[in-house]
Structure 1
Amino acid sequence: MEASRTPSPLSSPDMSSGSSTSSMTPPSTPPNLHQNSIDPAAKWLVQKFGGTSVGKFAVKIAEDVVSQYLDQHKVAIVCSARSGSTKALGTTNLLLKAASEALQRTRSPGGTGTNTPNGLFRSSPSLGQSPVDSPRPRSKSSPRSDSPFGSLAMTPASGASATSFNATVDLIRSEHITAARSTVRDPEILKELEAEIERDVDALRSFLFAAQVIDEISPRSKDSIVGFGERLGCKIITAVLRDRGVDAEFVSLENIVPLPDDGDHYEEGETLGQEFYDKVAVAVGERIRQCGRRVPVVTGFFGPVPGSLLRQVGRGYTDLLSALLAVGLQASELQIWKEVDGIFTADPRKVPTARLIPIISPEEAAELTYYGSEVVHPFTMEQVIRKKIPIRIKNVENPLGSGTVIHPDPDIDAACATDEAEPFAGAPAAQQFAYKSLSELTRDGSGSPTAGGWDPNMHKHPTAVTIKEGIVVLNVNSNRKSVSHGFLAGIFGVLDRFGVVVDLISTSEVHVSMAIEQGVERRSLDKLVRELSKYGTVTVARDMAILSLVGKQMRHLVGIAGRMFTTLGQGNVNIEMISQGANEINISCVIDGRDAVKALNLIHQSCLQILPQGARGRMGPWLF
């Protein structure tokens, strides 16, 4: 009988053997659960949800987002680790804290917690006996072999010293148990989810105890610890989806990274090229197709990566995985769900007149990301754009909103501005889907441009203005009478040794001005200044901000730079340095951080505000 049962949707099946590694094997999927479209022509749609959405809007994701797409599309979901009530209580931050605490040896048995040899990590085939109401977890199930921590699970020896990470692990456990109980109504699904949380938490304790014993956590071990957050977040979303009638399946990708073609292993220090990510995309796509009509809920963590996932990619690896999945499935669209309606002409929290941008080019989105607007990381964006897959930014709190489309077609702006009744009628089906909401925005029933929607002349304006605060400006002035040709080389060499990323730079033969993020520690910055002083006199300006005006059409706008700087001058905003990118779609300047909001409003009203024909308007109260 066991062989005829389907794996639990909350377990991660071992696809190499075709069986689930979890002991939970419920009967086959009930026929009333909502599944992915049965239409063989239906395209895949990848939806990525960030930590805040997973933490605060799990029920809304299930009821108002995912369910609305299943009849016409095949939906795959990628989730980040849950956020907390504060940034410090976010799951990833707590996991990194626990990893750090594991290397802090305690000197007394009091500590913050104790690994009890008779209570934790003991193997038992019993299911559903996790005492979730006890003050400390006493789950009687050992880590499963599909857990990233299962291979290092161990039982603490009798009399083991107190471990400082236990309190942090307890907090992670309680946060997820509380989330499970507040979002899952079905008692059977809740019982299964709680058991999964208990098993993973026990496995995490084992892993951290092992790290404490050997007094070392390697970069790859830290990857595995951080990946634990995506497992828990995805299991909660899977359970909530099933509780709301969606046939969802949890999919862990921690062993998805393929070996090189020669069958050997990647070198730890090597830089991963595009070929590596192409292989990961293919592997991820093949794995997800094995879910059949179930809706896969996929971990953003995709396992041990040569040189460490955190080092190679950073904490934005969930966005990257969603992009690779979209490529592997040849999806019609990648949707990134946030808590904002899309990309605006300016930060709407600071500029009341900011407007939603219906469509934007990848180059413009990349510039906005570099200079303060959290859009999509350019490397992540590149993975899908090079395969002609559009990205849509949507608001989980406003699922019916059209969002903003980042589209790979450089000629689409012209199509958007046309007066034809159906500007996308000749486009492929995938593009028509991507533009449907945009088309509704731009047209009313008569086929003419909607007064409050997309303006057909908007392409004659810059696209957006953004501000990046917390900037330090370093000015290096050569004190040599005869300037050596190695002046710039020496400065750039120092920056490279310190690993400093320069946001803006302005150079001459004897002078260099550089804008860097203020996040550099004071001690490191002091050392950097001392090294740069070997090449000239160094001055430092703190608490600055980078103001950037972005637009693909700006290269055709004569006088736009003059208008920008004249506006700042009239508003009494002093400019520290100026830079314009070689691609001519970005004009940036450094200003005093105290003038950031004023400058943002000034430039938005001067360069981006769409006024009625013939109206001149006034510059607003910021001039006075």
Structure 2
Amino acid sequence: MSSSSDASQNETWIVQKYGGTSVGKQLPTIAQHIAPSYLSNPNVRLAIVCSARSGQTKALGTTNLLLQAAKEALQPEDENDTASPIESSSLSNSFSNLRDSSNATANGTFSRLARSASRGAAGLGTGSPLPTSKRAESPATLNSALDSKLKSLTMENSASNGAPIATGYNATVDRIMHDHIVAVREAVTKNVEARERLEHEIVDDCERLRDFLMAAKIIEEISPKSQDIIMSIGERLSCRIVVGALLDVGIDAELVGMETVIDANFLEELQSKRARLDVSSTSQGEEYLDQAFYDLLSVKMADRLRAVKGVPVVTGFFGHVPGSLLSQVGRGYTDLCAALCAVGLQAAELQIWKEVDGVFTADPRKVSTARLIDAITPEEAAELTYYGSEVIHPFTMEQAIKKAVPIRIKNVENPEGSGTVIFPPASSSKDPEKLMGAFLKQPKTPGSTSGTTTPWGSMSMTSSAITAVMGEPKELRRPTAVTIKEDIWILNVHSNRKTLSHGFFARIFTTLDKHGVIVDLISTSEVHVSMALHGGQAGLKRGRVVDRLKSELSLLGEVSIVKDMTILSLVGSHMRNMVGVSGKMFNTLAEGNINIEMISQGANEINISCVIHQKNALKALNMIHYSVLEGSTKMPNAEAGNFGRAFF
């Protein structure tokens, strides 16, 4: 007993989160190289959290297909459409009718699909009731039937024999099922038993989805919580494929669903905890997601993961939270789930695996000299995320950093790379060695000579964040990164009074809040207010909303909107102590003959932003990176690199 307890205390947990495109395109790398490299250390326990699988692009990913299916379920049926939801010859109908009817005699019951068959639903695409002779088929016959149906299924839902075909949400569910079964067969080639079991489970999951959508169609409603359930099926399907890929290479793995972690006992324990902390549990009639909620949730998640013998593969969906998970957290809730798992397990590291090497000083697709940043602070990462550089959801980051769990962003296409670490500098802690984990040795990634084996706090001294930690006076301090956020509108309100009244700003922001408009930047003078708004937000996509917004604000003064603008942001944790950085930034833009429409600096003093015309965005980004971040004393040759004649 004591030996197992000692072993668990010596375990080092590492939580890895993979996005949908990583699962879709890089699953062999994950299963055959990344996971085994970490598990080669006997003291390491690995937990994997997966998003819903995507193909080549997110637009064609499972999540978007699920949202499409939900939308289709609420659409009225076309009167000219002869294929009803029950009559459609869907992929799962064909396969499940065979499988379910073969078990009917033993179980004494039929599933909905078997009952549909008795009412005339399709068998193997014939549109006729299932023959009695098909009711005692072997597993080989069942798989053969599925193989045949997979081959005949097309995304255009065409049929040459005139049989009824799947339409609407049924066709979308068939496509989801087809994609995942094909993915399982590509990922699991050795373990035939596991592959067949996973295929059956995928069919079952998709059939439950179909039942759910049919119920939504009948009641003509999909509530926020129902949408959560629909979205969660994508992650479960993705996790099944990852489990199969790991089993195929001999790694013991198990799917762990977190959808039931929030139950009656959880809520009762949460209320007791809030009572002890004297924290109110209601906000506008609903329980809100406070820190006590997340602290308890992380503990419950960790208990489930520790009970798994092999590698737990975790669904990002973690139950029916008050107010719906999508509306409270958004589509980044899988990252949040990974962070809570890491916090509860007291993991040595939370790894977010993407298709990029980490965080760069600028977008490397737009700035050829952009370099990888070894380490950044959470504040810098939050600013970069907000102003256009996709790093990690700020709330997800907050949960991990608050409990001293380092976050490392790594590239699934380059596992040997060191990535970027998000963690506070040691100077912010009373015990910097403990906080930074200075003596922690991480397992090696495949072929890595540095990578995650580098101890915390001993990385390359080229990073400004590490420079501050180590206190090296010889290193020249510079901002950390520069980023741009495009599709920006400037909303100007010029007061019709000589001085602003105390209610002027209140009326402006009340009007913006009424129409759901979010402000990125604001700049004011005595009688003038300028606000930078992202044109892609929902509140500005509808022309009527914009017209009403202008009409209501015109009661306060003259209103104008300028489109096709870009926010250029310079971010760095040391900028609050740097003299002349803003002057150099604006002088550089002036040398490039770039006009500045608006200037704003954040209250935390680690961000300086300005608004420029969108046509000058790429030129400004390169100029600022070259002059301010690289520290060049003069601009490059007008004919060289990114500063050719097109820019001047």
TM band (smaller chain): 0.7 to 0.9
The offset of 1:125, in angstroms, is: 7.2
The code of the aligned residue for 1:547 comes to: L
Counterpart Cα distance in 2 of 1:594 and 1:403? 32
Q: 1:322 to 1:427 in 2, by over 3 A?
A: closer
Q: Is the 8 A contact 2:480 2:629 kept in 1?
A: yes
Hey, what does 1:199 align to over in structure 2?
A: 204
Q: 1:318 to 1:266 in 2, by over 3 A?
A: farther
Hey, what does 1:209 align to over in structure 2?
A: 214
Q: Does 1:277 align with 2:294?
A: yes
**Alignment counterpart, residue 225 of structure 1, candidates 221, 227, 230:** 230
Q: Is the 8 A contact 2:15 2:338 kept in 1?
A: yes
The offset of 1:516, in angstroms, is: 1.0
Hey, what does 2:147 align to over in structure 1?
A: 133
Q: Is the 8 A contact 2:21 2:58 kept in 1?
A: no
Counterpart Cα distance in 2 of 1:317 and 1:582? 28
**Alignment counterpart, residue 552 of structure 1, candidates 570, 573, 580:** 573
Hey, what does 1:567 align to over in structure 2?
A: 588
Hey, what does 2:186 align to over in structure 1?
A: 182
Q: 1:108 to 1:458 in 2, by over 3 A?
A: farther
Hey, what does 1:536 align to over in structure 2?
A: 557
Q: Does 1:522 align with 2:542?
A: yes
Give the match's secondary structure for 1:601. Answer: helix
Q: Is the 8 A contact 1:111 1:162 kept in 2?
A: no
Within-5 A mapping of 1:464-613? 464-481=481-498, 483-519=500-536, 520-523=540-543, 524-609=545-630
Counterpart Cα distance in 1 of 2:500 and 2:242? 62
Hey, what does 1:4 align to over in structure 2?
A: none
**Structure with the higher fraction of residues in helix conformation:** 2
Hey, what does 1:419 align to over in structure 2?
A: none
Counterpart Cα distance in 1 of 2:102 and 2:293? 40
The code of the aligned residue for 2:608 comes to: I
TM-score w.r.t. structure 1 length?
A: 0.81
Q: Is the 8 A contact 1:80 1:233 kept in 2?
A: yes
Counterpart Cα distance in 2 of 1:50 and 1:427? 27
The offset of 1:432, in angstroms, is: 4.9
Question: Residues 321-358 of structure 1: CA distance to partner in whole angstroms, max 9, x if unpaired?
Answer: 00000011110110000000000000000000000000
Counterpart Cα distance in 2 of 1:479 and 1:547? 30
The code of the aligned residue for 2:583 comes to: G
**Alignment counterpart, residue 255 of structure 2, candidates 250, 253, 256:** 250
Q: Is the 8 A contact 2:18 2:352 kept in 1?
A: yes
Counterpart Cα distance in 2 of 1:176 and 1:113? 25
Counterpart Cα distance in 1 of 2:483 and 2:327? 28
Question: Residues 121-172 of structure 1: CA distance to partner in whole angstroms, max 9, x if unpaired?
Answer: 764575953532244799xxxxxxxxxxxxxxxxxxxxx9986211111111
Q: Is the 8 A contact 1:358 1:438 kept in 2?
A: no
Give the match's secondary structure for 2:405. Answer: coil
Give the match's secondary structure for 2:574. Answer: helix
Counterpart Cα distance in 1 of 2:460 and 2:320? 54
The offset of 1:117, in angstroms, is: 9.2
Hey, what does 2:175 align to over in structure 1?
A: 171
Q: Is the 8 A contact 1:386 1:408 kept in 2?
A: no
Give the match's secondary structure for 1:98. Answer: helix
Q: Does 1:371 align with 2:342?
A: no
Counterpart Cα distance in 2 of 1:188 and 1:367? 49
The offset of 1:481, in angstroms, is: 4.2
Counterpart Cα distance in 2 of 1:163 and 1:239? 30
Q: Is the 8 A contact 2:441 2:455 kept in 1?
A: no
Counterpart Cα distance in 2 of 1:161 and 1:497? 46
Comparing 540-549 with 527-536, greater Cα deviation is found at: 527-536
Q: 1:449 to 1:99 in 2, by over 3 A?
A: closer
Q: 1:84 to 1:571 in 2, by over 3 A?
A: same
RMSD of Structure 2 on Structure 1 (CA): 3.4
Q: Is the 8 A contact 2:566 2:611 kept in 1?
A: yes
Q: Which stretches in structure 2 are left out of the alignment for 5+ residues?
A: 1-5, 104-137, 153-163, 272-280, 445-449
Q: 1:176 to 1:492 in 2, by over 3 A?
A: same
Q: Is the 8 A contact 1:177 1:194 kept in 2?
A: yes
Q: 1:372 to 1:389 in 2, by over 3 A?
A: same
Counterpart Cα distance in 1 of 2:33 and 2:626? 36
Q: 1:560 to 1:167 in 2, by over 3 A?
A: same
Q: 1:441 to 1:289 in 2, by over 3 A?
A: closer
Hey, what does 1:399 align to over in structure 2?
A: 415
Give the match's secondary structure for 1:562. Answer: helix
Comparing 269-278 with 468-477, greater Cα deviation is found at: 269-278
Q: 1:439 to 1:607 in 2, by over 3 A?
A: farther
Counterpart Cα distance in 2 of 1:104 and 1:531? 35
Counterpart Cα distance in 1 of 2:487 and 2:384? 16
Q: 1:499 to 1:117 in 2, by over 3 A?
A: closer
Hey, what does 1:347 align to over in structure 2?
A: 363
**Alignment counterpart, residue 327 of structure 2, candidates 293, 297, 311:** 311
The offset of 1:434, in angstroms, is: 9.8
The code of the aligned residue for 1:76 comes to: A
Identity %: 54
Q: Is the 8 A contact 2:523 2:531 kept in 1?
A: yes
Q: 1:278 to 1:166 in 2, by over 3 A?
A: same
Q: Is the 8 A contact 1:442 1:449 kept in 2?
A: no
Counterpart Cα distance in 2 of 1:244 and 1:508? 65
Within-5 A mapping of 1:320-469? 320-411=336-427, 428=437, 431-433=440-442, 437=451, 460-469=477-486
Q: 1:263 to 1:367 in 2, by over 3 A?
A: closer
Comparing 122-131 with 520-529, greater Cα deviation is found at: 122-131
The offset of 1:409, in angstroms, is: 3.6
Give the match's secondary structure for 2:554. Answer: helix
Within-5 A mapping of 1:125-164? 126=103, 128=139, 129=142, 131-135=145-149, 164=168
Aligned residues: 553
The code of the aligned residue for 1:494 comes to: T
The offset of 1:595, in angstroms, is: 1.1
Counterpart Cα distance in 1 of 2:510 and 2:637? 45
Within-5 A mapping of 1:60-79? 60-72=29-41, 73-79=44-50
Hey, what does 2:128 align to over in structure 1?
A: none
The offset of 1:247, in angstroms, is: 0.9
Hey, what does 1:297 align to over in structure 2?
A: 313
Give the match's secondary structure for 1:179. Answer: helix
Hey, what does 1:51 align to over in structure 2?
A: 20
Question: Residues 435-455 of structure 1: CA distance to partner in whole angstroms, max 9, x if unpaired?
Answer: 9647859999xx99799xx98
Q: Which stretches in structure 1 are left out of the alignment for 5+ residues?
A: 1-36, 139-159, 416-422
Comparing 469-478 with 254-263, greater Cα deviation is found at: 254-263
Hey, what does 1:90 align to over in structure 2?
A: 61
The code of the aligned residue for 1:562 comes to: G
The offset of 1:86, in angstroms, is: 3.5
Q: 1:527 to 1:602 in 2, by over 3 A?
A: same
Counterpart Cα distance in 2 of 1:434 and 1:71? 8
The code of the aligned residue for 1:479 comes to: N
The offset of 1:266, in angstroms, is: 8.0
Give the match's secondary structure for 1:599. Answer: helix
